[in-house]
C-alpha cells in the first residue's frame, strides 16, 4: 500500500456539474490504517449559498431548510483539506467527488486534491474491471458482497462511506491474502534453508593443477596489458602490507 493512511470519502451535491455552479452540500470521510477503521472521521453539512433542485433532493433528501445555519464551504474548506492531506482517497466514482472538491478548493485558493499530495483509488473502476458487464453501483456491490445496507434510505455521505469501507475491504481481501500467503511461504523457505545449513561449512582448497591453470591465466593477462595485471598488483600490495 503506497499510503499508510486511507480516507474513504463521499460527497452530496446540488447537481452534477461543478463547472456550472453546482456546490457541495455534505462531506464525509472516515479514516483507515492497515485495513482497520481508526474511528477518526470528518462529517460536515455545508450550506451551498444557492438553491437545491428537486431532482437532487429526491436523491439525498437534503433541503435548504435542513442546511439553515450550517457553514459555507469557505468556512470549512481548510479543515477538509487538512484532513485529506497526503492520504490515499477511496472513492466510488472518484472523478465526480474529486471534481467537486477541486472546484471548491480552487474557489478558496487552496491546493487541489493532487496538490494536497493525495492519491485516488476509484472503487467503481475497480468493480468494472472485476465484474465487467454487471451493475457496479454501491447498492449492487453491497448486494454482491452481502454488506447490510438496510439503514440507507437516502444517499448520505456518511452512511455511504461506511458501506464503501466494507465493500472496499471485501474487494481487496484476496489481494492482501495473496501477499500474506507469499510472506508465509518465503518465511517457510528461509526456515528450511537455515535448518539445512550445517553448523560448520567445509572449506575446499584449490588443487595444484587448478593453481597452475590460474597462474597461466594471469601470465596471459600480464602479456595482454604489457605489464602486471591488476590481480597480481593487488596481491603484491597485500603481501607488502
Which of the residues are catalytic? 155
Q: Is the alpha carbon torsion for 117, 123, 127, 133 positive or negative?
A: negative
Domains of the chain with CATH codes = 6-172 (3.30.420.10), 208-239 (no CATH)
Taking the model in full, what pTM does it have? 0.71
Which helix (H) or strand (E) is 12 found in, with range?
A: strand 5-13
Known binding-site residue numbers:
10, 12, 60, 160
Within 8 A by CB and 6+ apart from 120, the residues are: 88, 89, 91, 94, 98, 113
Per-residue pLDDT of the chain (241 residues; tens, 9 = 90+): 445 899 999 999 999 999 999 999 999 999 999 999 999 999 999 999 999 999 999 999 999 999 999 999 999 999 999 999 999 999 999 999 999 999 999 999 999 999 999 999 999 999 999 999 999 999 999 999 999 887 665 568 898 999 999 999 999 997 554 444 445 555 665 666 666 666 666 777 788 888 888 887 777 777 766 778 777 877 777 766 5
Known binding-site residue numbers for substrate:
10, 12, 60, 160
Whole-number Cα distances in Å, 148 to 5, 151, 229: 25, 8, 76
Amino acid at each position: 500500500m503506497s499510503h499508510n493512511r486511507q480516507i474513504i470519502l463521499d460527497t452530496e451535491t446540488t447537481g452534477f456539474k461543478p463547472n456550472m455552479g453546482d456546490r457541495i452540500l455534505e462531506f464525509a470521510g472516515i479514516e483507515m490504517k492497515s485495513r482497520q477503521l481508526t474511528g477518526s472521521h470528518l462529517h460536515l453539512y455545508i450550506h451551498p449559498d444557492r438553491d437545491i433542485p428537486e431532482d437532487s433532493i429526491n436523491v439525498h433528501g437534503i433541503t435548504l431548510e435542513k442546511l439553515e445555519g450550517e457553514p459555507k464551504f469557505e468556512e470549512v474548506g481548510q479543515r477538509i483539506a487538512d484532513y485529506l492531506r497526503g492520504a490515499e482517497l477511496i472513492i466510488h466514482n472518484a472523478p465526480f467527488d474529486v471534481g467537486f472538491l477541486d472546484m471548491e478548493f480552487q474557489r478558496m485558493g487552496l491546493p487541489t486534491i493532487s496538490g494536497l499530495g493525495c492519491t485516488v483509488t476509484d472503487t467503481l473502476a475497480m468493480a468494472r474491471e472485476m465484474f465487467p458487464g454487471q451493475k457496479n453501483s454501491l447498492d449492487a456491490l453491497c448486494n454482491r458482497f452481502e454488506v447490510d445496507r438496510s439503514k440507507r434510505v437516502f444517499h448520505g455521505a456518511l452512511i455511504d462511506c461506511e458501506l464503501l469501507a466494507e465493500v472496499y475491504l471485501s474487494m481487496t481481501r484476496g489481494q492482501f491474502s495473496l501477499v500474506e500467503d507469499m510472506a508465509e511461504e518465503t518465511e517457510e523457505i528461509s526456515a528450511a534453508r537455515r535448518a539445512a545449513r550445517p553448523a560448520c561449512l567445509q572449506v575446499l582448497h584449490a588443487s595444484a593443477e587448478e593453481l597452475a591453470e590460474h597462474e597461466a591465466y594471469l601470465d596471459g593477462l600480464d602479456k595482454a596489458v604489457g605489464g602486471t595485471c591488476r590481480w597480481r598488483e593487488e596481491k603484491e600490495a597485500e603481501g607488502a602490507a
